[in-house]
Amino acid sequence: VRKAEAKRLSDLAAKDEKKAEMLKERLKYFFEVNKLKSIDTARYKLTLAKNGGKAPLIVDESVSPTELPEKFQKISVDLDKAAIRTALEAGESLDFAHLGDRGSSLRIK
């Protein structure tokens, strides 16, 4: 019974959030179409403000990173966990890695 009520309330909350987001988008569109910056009401002040932070970076995805100058490339080296695991399972001793305990879990059927 409580799970059903929790689901009902969760669904209502999600519906309310979706409706609020839709209303915000419509208000934003209204501000942009009418070239408004802010509106004062009896209870609230609505303002259309630019987002802060860095401007979005738009990169042409059709360009291969290898075609770019070296200063715009980033080279990364990652460890090969599969190769490390294979070496450890084969009995090789590595001073930087070891196989851990698998742990346990309780199963009720």
Phi, psi at 26, each rounded to 5°: -65, -40
108 band by pLDDT with thresholds 50, 70 and 90 = confident
Q: What letters, b where the CB count within 10 A reaches 16 and e where it falls short, cover 68-80?
A: eeeeeeeeeeeee
pLDDT (tens digit, 9 = 90+) per residue, 3-56? 999 999 999 999 999 999 999 999 999 999 999 999 999 999 999 998 888 999
104 pLDDT more than 90: no
Q: Mean pLDDT across the stretch 84-95?
A: 96
Residue 95: its pLDDT value, please? Answer: 95
Q: Residue range 56-78: average pLDDT?
A: 92
pLDDT greater than 90 at residue 107:
no
pTM more than 0.75 = no
Residue 45 has, within 13 A of its CA and on its CB side, a CA count of: 4
The count of C-alpha atoms lying within 13 angstroms of the C-alpha of 93, restricted to the half-sphere facing its C-beta, is 1
Q: Where are the domains of the chain?
A: 2-89
Q: How far apart are CA 44 and CA 55, in angstroms?
A: 29
